[in-house]
Amino acid sequence: MSLGLGEEQIGPEEATIAARTLALVKRGLIETPPGQWVKRDAHPKAHGCVHGTFTVSSDVPAALRHGLFATPATYPVWIRFSNGNNTPDNKGDIRGMGIKLCQVPGPKILDDEKLTQDFLMIANTVMPVGVPGEYLALFETLINHTPWPAIKGIPFLHLLRALGNIAETALFKPTNPLLFQYWSTTPFLLGSGAMKYSARPCASMNAEDAKRPEDPGPDFLREAMVRLLAERDACFDFMVQPQTDAGAMPIEDAAVRWSEEASPFVKVGTIRIPAQKFTSPAQDMFCENLSINPWHTLVEHRPLGGINRVRRAVYEAISEYRHTRNHAPRTEPTGDERF
Ligand code: HEM
């Protein structure tokens, strides 16, 4: 069956796959010894959380003026930069950028935060695998160190594609989290269709700062952010890419890159991060206790596709679990917190 723009197709096994994915993610946290701090299962290592603003542009093209992008406005934000794993920064890993816009009016999908709009991105254009069953198979393989039979559930061509997509991560040599581009990889509702989104350092950011140290240490990404923000502001263009072809730009396969020739990214906002110090223990703890979740969103930007639907089951449950274990409050930030 061919799908229309923005249309989803829920797989028959999806509820079971989501439950198994959640159980697997939770297993790692349950195994944290009593008394030890329970970190996020994914993206546990933060380079830091910085405050800033997100300004919706006044010249957003009419076709993209939906939800957040319908009205020019400036919102306070918290942004958490992370590694996908608890790895030293000089080892290959996925790099994350989680943005939480605060004080955003309008109906939201989840009940735990009423005024936030979160955008989660990684420094990869696509996911290694793009459908829930394949994600679970890959995850089981990595966690259990048993390549067989888990990956036999992944078609051979998709396995090859996954290796190519993983190579993208392995070959990427990061310099400074404030100086490279991030992508949502998964789609979200925009009007009656869909979008992916991306944050790219503004043209004004000096590429000279993007030099990698000759001998990068285990925390060199945090150190690079500290150095840059001690001297000047940082800034990103926030862009959306509308889906224009439901076949070539699928909703249900997050391992397919949407062609930028067919549909270029269009700037809809600016993220400004003023020069600041962000490394106090109190600010790091605040950062640790944030819950950045793609389902913290205006209803107009509902996450789409199987990978995002699985994330609905996982993120909230995991956030609740780690906060309970840590005796930490789950609170909704205002964006005005300072440390
Ligand atoms: C089924 C697929 C996925 C699963 C099971 C999953 C799981 C998780 C979990 C459990 C967390 C920690 C949540 C918390 O404790 O608050 C997390 C965080 C994160 N995930 Fe995913 N994830 C998935 C897909 C993705 C995708 C497609 C992206 C691409 C943008 C992504 C990017 C991130 C980022 C950037 C964070 C860190 C957010 C922060 O800074 O707090 N994840 N993920």
Would the CB of 313 count as within 6 Å of ligand 1?
no
Of the pLDDT bands very low, low, confident and very high (cuts 50, 70, 90), residue 180 is very high
Say what the pLDDT of residue 209 is. Answer: 67
pLDDT score at 165: 87
299 CA → ligand 1 middle, Å? 20
Place of tokens 């909230």: 316
> pLDDT over 90 for what percent of the chain?
84
Looking at the domain 14-325, which fold is it? Catalase HpII,  Chain A, domain 1 (2.40.180)
Q: What is the mean pLDDT of residues 11-21?
A: 95
Best mutation site among 17, 43, 168 for ligand 1, i.e. most ligand atoms within 8 A of its Cβ?
43
For the residues 4-17, what does the mean pLDDT come to?
Answer: 95
Please give the distance, rounded to the nearest whole angstrom, from the Cα atom of residue 317 to the centre of ligand 1.
12
* HSE-up (13 A, CA, CB side) for residue 180: 23
Q: State residue 147's pLDDT score.
A: 62
The 3-class SS string of 203-244 reads CCCCHHHHCCCCCCCCCHHHHHHHHHHHHCCEEEEEEEEECC
Provide the angle, in degrees to the nearest 10, between the axes of the packed helices 14-30 and 132-144: 30
- pLDDT (mean) for 175-187: 97
Among 20, 40, 308, the mutation site with the greatest number of ligand 1 atoms within 8 A of its Cβ is: 40
In the chain, domain spans: 14-325
Q: What is the pTM of this model?
A: 0.97
Q: State in Å: Cα 252 to ligand 1 middle.
A: 18
Report how far ligand 1's centroid is from the alpha carbon of 242 (Å): 23
CB of 69 within 6 A of ligand 1: the answer is: no
Does residue 141's CB lie within 6 angstroms of at least one atom of ligand 1?
no
Residue with tokens 């109906």: 107
90-147 per-position pLDDT tens digit: 999 999 999 999 999 999 999 999 999 999 999 999 999 999 999 998 888 887 776 6
Residue 78, ligand 1, Cβ within 6 A: no
* Mutation choice for ligand 1 from 184, 311, 326, 332, CB with most ligand atoms inside 8 A: 311
Rounded to 5°, the CA angle 62-66-70 comes to 70
Percent helix, percent strand, percent coil in the chain, to nearest 5: 30, 20, 50
Is residue 183 scored above 60 in pLDDT?
A: yes
pLDDT of residue 211: 80
204 CA from centroid of ligand 1 (Å): 30
What's the pLDDT score for residue 323?
98
Tokens of 138: 């890959």
CB of 98 closer than 6 angstroms to any ligand 1 atom = yes
For residues 225-244, average pLDDT: 96
Residue type, 38: V
